[in-house]
Amino acid sequence: MQRIDDRRWIRPARRSALALRWCSAFGAAVTACLLQAGLCAAQAPAASQQHLRIVGGLAGVNQYTRYEEPFWTRELARLSGGRTTAEIVPFDRAGIRGQEMLRLVQLGVVPFGTAILNLSAVDDAELAMPDLAGLNPDMAALRRSIGAFRPYLKKVLRERYGSELLALYAYPAQVTFCAKPLASLADLSGRRIRISSATQSDWVVALGAVPVQTAFADVVANLRSGSIDCAITGTMSGNAIGLHEVTSHIQTTAVNWGIAAFVANGAAWAALPKDLQELLQRELPKLEQAIWTDAETETRGGIACNIGAATCVGGRKGRMIEVRPSADDATKGREILVNHVLPAWLKRCGPQCAQPWKQTMAPATGVELR
C-alpha cells in the first residue's frame, strides 16, 4: 500500500477500489455500494432489529474459529434476545490486506473490523509500540505493556482514525522453527528466517541473520525448497500447517506476540442503539479475556504438540527438539531490543514518538530510550 503522508485521507479512486473489494466480499449480503461516499450499504433491516457486518482476524486460527466467529454469528443473537444479528468474514479471505484495515474503518467502508497492529504499523509505525520484538518475553510482560498502551491507543484511534476501540486481542507467542540444529539464539546468525513484520525484521538483522518476508501460506513450501532455513510464527499455528514435519528444532524465545484491535467506525458506532452499545461494551471485554487466556494456553500447547509431549491437545504430535532460552539468550534478547529494535522503530516512527514511549511503555517495561 502506498504510504500516505496525511493520515486522514485516501485518494478517491483508491477509496472506491477498497469499497468495491469489501462489498464484493459479502456477495449477496451487500446489495448496494455507495462508492462515491466510500461506504457500503447492506439491505436495511427492520426497524426493531440490527444487523452488523464484521471483518474478523486471520482465518483458520483459534482467535477467529473459536471466539470471533461464534460470538458474532451465534452469541450476539442470544445475548440480544434475537434483536441483533451479525455476519463476519476473516480479513484475509475478504480480499483485504491487513495493512488497510484501519483505513477502511476510518472511511466507513468496514463498519467494524479487526486490525492487527503490527500490520497497521506499515503505515503508522507508532502502532507497533507495545509489541516490539523482544519487548515481552512472556504473557505477564505483554499484559503490562498492553495495559500501559491501551489508553493512548484509544486516543490515537479516536483522533487519528475516527474510530472507537472496543477490544484488544492477543495471538500466541511467535517463536522460531528451524530445519537445522541450534542451541542458542547466536546460532541463528547467517540463516534465512521468515518474518512477517518490520519489528521481526529488526530482530533477525540484529542476530546476524537474513529476514525474508514470507506469506504464512507459503512457509512450508519455502522451508522444503530451502529458500528459508527458519520461520518465526505462532507455536500452534506453525503446528497446524505442518512445520513440525519440515523443521527439527523450535527455539521458544517469544520474539513477539501479535496484538489485534477490534475497532468501530465512529459514525457506525454512534448510530447503534444505546442498549446495543451497552451490550457490546459489557460482552466484548469477556470475549477479549477468553482470547487472551487461549493465547497463553495455546502458546504452551503448541510447544507440547511440536515436541510430541503427552500434554499435547488440539494439535498433531511432532518430534521436534525444544531449545529453551538460556540466561545468555535472555541477556542477548534484551540487548537486541535496546540497541537495535527500539532505535530502528523510533527511526521509522519519527521523533514525535519518543514522548509517547516515555509516557506509556518506559514505566511499564523499564526500557528507556537512549
CA distance 342 to 203: 10
| pLDDT reading at 241 higher than 70 | yes
CA distance 174 to 235: 7
* Residues 288-325: tens digit of each pLDDT: 999 999 999 999 999 999 999 999 998 999 999 999 99
Average pLDDT, the chain: 88
The per-residue pLDDT for 232 is 98
- If pLDDT is split at 50, 70 and 90, which confidence band does 62 have? confident
- Identify whether the C-beta of residue 253 lies closer than 8 Å to the C-beta of residue 187: no
* Residues 6-56: tens digit of each pLDDT: 332 233 444 455 555 545 544 433 333 323 223 343 334 444 689 999 999
| pLDDT reading at 143 higher than 70 | yes
Q: What percent of the chain has pLDDT over 90?
A: 81
Question: Which residues, 6+ apart, have CB-to-CB distance to 119 below 8 Å?
Answer: 97, 98, 99, 101, 197
Q: What percent of the chain has pLDDT over 70?
A: 87
The per-residue pLDDT for 255 is 97
The per-residue pLDDT for 11 is 35
CA distance 1 to 121: 12
The per-residue pLDDT for 19 is 52
Q: Domains of the chain, with CATH numbers?
A: 12-171+258-297 (3.40.190.170), 174-256+307-365 (3.40.190.170)
The per-residue pLDDT for 79 is 98
The residue assigned the cell 542476530 is: 207
CA distance 168 to 111: 17
Lowest-confidence pick of 48-52, 231-235, 316-320, 332-336: 48-52
| pLDDT reading at 105 higher than 80 | yes
Question: Residues 44-73: what's their mean pLDDT?
Answer: 86
CA distance 67 to 290: 8
| pLDDT reading at 166 higher than 50 | yes
Question: φ and ψ at 271, to 5 degrees?
Answer: -80, -15
- If pLDDT is split at 50, 70 and 90, which confidence band does 60 have? confident
